[in-house]
Amino acid sequence: MAIVFLPTQPGESVEYMLSIDTRLVAAVDKWRAERAPEMEASQAVEFLLREALATEGYFDPANETRQEVLLAAFQQAAAGKSS
């Protein structure tokens, strides 16, 4: 049995209750209609937040991808699978 603790668990998420004004809701809806009509509003807000934070240098999408790959490898190892 292998137990692995990562500094952060990328598979875990934290729920936030976010209250935004109607102008921001309208802007998100307009963005979704033009760029990503298949996205749910919550997905669009998360996407836009990630993009804004990455633009400002506070979020590194490449690091997130690396963490997801590591987590998948650890989960496979814990399940007794090998690639």
Tokens of 36: 């990503």
CA 48 distance to own-chain centroid: 11
Q: Would you say the pTM of this structure is higher than 0.85?
A: no
Contact 64, 55 (CB under 8 A): no
Residue 44 sits in which domain range?
A: 22-78
pLDDT for residue 1: 41
- Residue 70: inside a domain: yes
pLDDT for residue 2: 44
Q: Give me the residues of the chain with pLDDT under 50, please.
A: 1-2, 83
- Residue 5: inside a domain: no
Tokens of 42: 């919550």
pLDDT for residue 80: 75
- Residue 30: inside a domain: yes
Q: Give the count of domains, the chain.
A: 1
pLDDT for residue 12: 64
- Residue 56: inside a domain: yes
- Residue 10: inside a domain: no
Nearest to 32 by CA among 45, 23, 16: 45
